[in-house]
């Protein structure tokens, strides 16, 4: 056991201290020390050691097969619902937007790659007169991220539409899993096996003529009236507590417009934190904790972040 631990420590130390070797065939699709602020909707985040955008699923699997065992992996969609710390991400970031196949596979079923934007799924369903799918238009990310957190909007959620998923592990070994192997609840998913990554999913809907592109645009327009759509945010910051709304609790605590550095509680919707300039991830974390403490002191409710936090804190000077 000690030998195994020492071997893992050596692998991790090597990955941290030396550039990860990348075969020449993948170099055109690899960036090193890529600022994650370019790839997150908050526009914050330090550099990723390696940032890889696969051409397609075959290219992705071939790349994974070349990585040294133990290489840390992070799978990225459109960067919403995500906070990358200022020290960046060690290992490899997989940019899933290259996985973009979306096709009808049956009268009421679609197959979508993990990198397909949810809004595109909504538009395809409307063109095929399938539903309920309009909720996908309100999810500011890709299907892979929606699967990970059972994302939803307009009263709908992702996993009730899922019938099967394609996954792979860190070594690129693929398999298909039935949706019934997963447990899900509000903004939460429990996979049957840890360490697997979503490649795509079979989605099933019902014949539902009536909703049009104009109808979907109306839904989004109504959301823009009450939410800071188009500003630099991660989407909703906190999940709604049972029987309550995070925005209501934050506003009741008098925190609309409260600011730390360049991150601010939106004056339009209190459950959105917006980057109004050059915010840092550390400022986001400070404001999130401040909101949690203030709301808990006032209402007794501890708010739970809806976004995921990844990466390393900034390196301290002199270290």
Residues with catalytic function: 187, 236, 306
* DSSP-derived 3-state class of residue 177: strand
Closest CA to 128 of 109, 113, 155: 109
Residues 6+ apart with CB under 8 A from 258: 264, 265, 287, 290, 291
Could you list the beta-strand ranges (E) of 30-123. Answer: 30-35, 47-52, 73-76, 82-84, 89-95, 102-106, 109-113
Residues 6+ apart with CB under 8 A from 283: 260, 261, 262, 263
HSE-CB at 201 with a 13 A cutoff on CA atoms is 28
Based on DSSP, count helices (H) and strands (E) in the chain, helices before strands: 7, 20
């Amino acid at each position: 056991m000690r030998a195994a631990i020492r071997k893992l420590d050596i692998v991790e130390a090597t990955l941290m201290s030396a550039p990860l070797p990348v075969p020449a065939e993948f170099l055109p699709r690899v960036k090193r020390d890529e600022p994650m602020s370019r790839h997150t909707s908050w526009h914050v985040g330090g550099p990723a050691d390696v940032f890889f955008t696969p051409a397609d699923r075959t290219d992705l699997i071939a790349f994974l097969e070349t990585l040294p065992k133990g290489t840390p992996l992070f799978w990225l969609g459109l960067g919403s619902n995500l906070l990358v710390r200022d020290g960046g991400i060690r290992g490899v970031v997989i940019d899933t937007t290259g996985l973009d196949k979306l096709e009808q596979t049956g009268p009421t079923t679609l197959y979508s790659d993990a990198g397909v934007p949810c809004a595109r799924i909504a538009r395809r369903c409307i063109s095929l007169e399938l539903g309920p799918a309009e909720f996908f238009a309100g999810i500011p990310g890709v299907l892979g991220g929606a699967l990970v957190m059972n994302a939803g909007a307009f009263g709908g959620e992702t996993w009730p539409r899922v019938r099967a998923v394609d996954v792979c592990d860190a070594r690129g070994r693929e398999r298909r899993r039935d949706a019934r192997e997963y447990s899900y609840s509000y903004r939460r998913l429990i996979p049957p096996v840890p360490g697997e990554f979503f490649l795509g999913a079979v989605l099933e809907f019902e014949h539902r003529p009536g909703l049009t592109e104009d109808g979907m645009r109306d839904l989004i327009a109504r959301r823009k009236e009450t939410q800071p759509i188009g500003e630099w945010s991660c989407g909703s910051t906190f999940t709604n507590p049972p029987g309550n709304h995070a925005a209501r609790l934050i506003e009741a605590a008098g925190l609309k417009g409260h600011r730390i550095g360049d991150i601010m509680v939106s004056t339009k919707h209190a459950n959105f934190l917006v980057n109004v300039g050059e915010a840092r991830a550390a400022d986001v974390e400070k404001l999130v904790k401040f909101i949690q403490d203030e709301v808990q002191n006032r209402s007794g409710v501890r708010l739970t972040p809806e976004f995921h936090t990844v990466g390393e804190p900034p390196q301290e000077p002199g270290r």
